[in-house]
């Protein structure tokens, strides 16, 4: 579907409670499936990516019931070794989180199984889970480092392993496999990837703990007793909130409040980055939901200036770069991002795709292997037709650009945003 979006006349004003966090929805669902007993998950994200996980788990014999109106999911856990052998391959759609986390769970369960996904997912790097899983003893058929992956049952062993790239998906995959290993496993990583898996599994009774700082990573012991079921309400998704933080920052006169958004420090890089640009964001009413810090975020329009981003901050805002690039284009002055080569391995090559789109929109952008430089003038020309390239966050970022562009912007494949933020068009009245 092609959506044409014109400049927005009014500010963004109001209060909104974003849908449940995508990473937490995936984890709560999968870990509940691996628990002993029935779990209740409130404010579960109902999007394309979580529907993929739901479908796969049903194929693995897990029973669940989703109240779509209330966003309440009930899951009957089957235990770490309780998956049934699925008929046919598990199709993870566009969801790398589904693919990588399920790979660890399937290896732990010790069932024969093939995992596959959309054309886009089959282009993404899977060697990063295959190599360490094989070192643990997993039997994964030759795959050239890409999906589909075929697992055969095999005993798993203790392993100490250093991830070459900071990745919560890889770390979580390995932690799940480690629950079924014959001894302790340690996985270190070069940066602070999101720690939701550690927090949630520990709350369910697993022995999973973070490495002592300044090291990043996790130590996991084999599961000694069944995981306790969950009864939780999830925080709102800061990665969805980020689009509205940017929209309100760049639309003059805006004053918008996002309620109960997850503010886990491994996810709040976007707040630090936008504030460094002069954004007016207040963090209010801090509390805890599902073992995660949450807060209300009040954002008011502000004059933004360029900034510089590198190192651990990149990891802490890894999903927010497409939205951030629109903020940088609307800012005055230069924004420089380095150490962000990982953006090329997301739902699309987000450096190349966003650089081409911004250039077409009239923004001065230079691409590097590991980042980009934007010379912001506060002006986006627009008047072009662009493709979302099957990337939900690209689709939404182009919509943000359209809201402030001088001429309308057509976005092909706009509906892909439903993967993670189906509410987006409604909230922005698109």
What is the set of active-site residues?
319
Residue 318 found at the interface with ligand S3P (CB under 6 A): yes
97 or 397: whose CB is closer to ligand S3P?
Answer: 97
> Which residue of 169, 254, 260, 397 would you call a contact of ligand S3P, by CB under 6 A?
169
173 or 409: whose CB is closer to ligand S3P?
Answer: 173
200 or 279: whose CB is closer to ligand S3P?
Answer: 200
Q: Which stretch binds ligand S3P (CB under 6 A): 68-76, 167-175, 256-264, 331-339?
A: 167-175
Q: How far apart are CA 170 and CA 157, in angstroms?
A: 17
Q: How far apart are CA 72 and CA 274, in angstroms?
A: 33
> Which residue of 18, 23, 257, 396 would you call a contact of ligand S3P, by CB under 6 A?
23
Cβ 342 vs Cβ 364: under 8 Å: no
Q: Mutual orientation of helices 127-135 and 96-109 as an angle, nearest 10°?
A: 20
296 or 320: whose CB is closer to ligand S3P?
Answer: 320
Binding mask 191-210 for ligand S3P (x = CB under 6 A): --xx----------------
Residue 240 found at the interface with ligand S3P (CB under 6 A): no
171 or 300: whose CB is closer to ligand S3P?
Answer: 171
Q: Please list every residue from 241 through 300 that binds ligand S3P, using CB under 6 A.
A: none
Residue 97 found at the interface with ligand S3P (CB under 6 A): yes
Cβ 416 vs Cβ 392: under 8 Å: yes
Cβ 386 vs Cβ 359: under 8 Å: no
On the CB side of 334, CA atoms within 13 Å amount to 6
Which residues lie below 8 Å from residue 256, measured CB to CB, with a gap of 6+? 12, 13, 14, 15, 16, 244, 247, 248, 298, 299, 300
Cβ 195 vs Cβ 161: under 8 Å: no
Rg (CA), the chain: 21
With CB under 6 A as the rule, give the number of residues binding ligand S3P: 12
Q: Which stretch binds ligand S3P (CB under 6 A): 56-64, 137-145, 146-154, 169-177?
A: 169-177
144 burial (CB, 10 Å; 0-12 / 13-18 / 19+) is exposed
Residues near ligand S3P (CB under 6 A): 23, 26, 97, 167-170, 172, 193-194, 318-319
């Amino acid at each position: 579907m092609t959506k044409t979006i014109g400049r927005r006349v009014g500010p963004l004003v109001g209060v909104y409670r974003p849908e449940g966090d995508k990473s937490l929805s995936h984890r709560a669902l999968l870990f509940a499936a691996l628990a002993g007993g029935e779990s209740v998950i409130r404010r579960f994200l109902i999007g394309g990516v979580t529907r993929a996980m739901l479908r796969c788990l049903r194929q693995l014999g897990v029973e669940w019931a989703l109240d779509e109106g209330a966003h309440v999911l009930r899951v009957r856990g089957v235990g770490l070794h309780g998956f049934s052998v699925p008929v046919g391959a598990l199709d993870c759609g566009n969801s790398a989180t589904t693919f990588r986390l399920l790979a660890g769970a399937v290896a732990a369960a010790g069932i024969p199984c093939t995992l596959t996904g959309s054309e886009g997912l089959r282009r993404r790097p899977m060697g990063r889970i295959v190599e360490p899983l094989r070192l643990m003893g997993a039997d994964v058929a030759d795959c050239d480092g890409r999906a589909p992956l075929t697992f055969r049952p095999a005993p798993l062993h203790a392993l100490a392993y250093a991830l070459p790239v900071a990745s919560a998906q890889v770390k979580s995959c390995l932690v799940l496999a480690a629950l079924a290993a014959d001894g302790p496993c340690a996985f270190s990583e070069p940066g602070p990837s999101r720690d939701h898996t550690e927090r949630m599994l520990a709350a369910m009774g697993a022995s999973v703990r973070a490495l002592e700082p300044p090291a990043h990573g996790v130590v996991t012991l084999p599961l000694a007793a069944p995981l306790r079921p969950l009864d939780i309400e999830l925080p709102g998704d800061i990665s969805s909130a980020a689009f509205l933080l940017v929209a309100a920052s760049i639309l003059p006169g805006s004053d918008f409040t996002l309620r109960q958004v997850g503010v886990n420090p491994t996810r709040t890089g976007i707040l630090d980055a936008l504030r460094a640009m002069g954004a007016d964001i207040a963090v209010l009413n801090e509390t805890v939901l599902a073992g995660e810090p949450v807060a209300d975020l009040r954002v008011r329009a502000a004059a933004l200036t360029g900034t510089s981003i590198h190192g651990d901050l990149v990891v802490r805002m890894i999903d927010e770069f497409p939205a951030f690039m629109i903020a940088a284009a609307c800012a005055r002055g230069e924004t420089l991002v380095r150490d962000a080569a990982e953006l090329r391995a997301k739902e699309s090559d987000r450096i190349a795709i966003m650089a081409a789109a911004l250039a077409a929109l009239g923004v001065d952008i230079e691409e590097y292997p590991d980042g980009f430089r934007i010379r912001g003038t506060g002006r986006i020309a627009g008047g072009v037709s662009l493709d979302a390239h099957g990337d939900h966050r690209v689709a939404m970022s182009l919509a943000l650009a359209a809201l402030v562009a001088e001429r309308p912007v057509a976005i092909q494949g706009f509906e892909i945003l439903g993967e993670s933020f189906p509410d987006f068009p409604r909230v922005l009245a698109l």
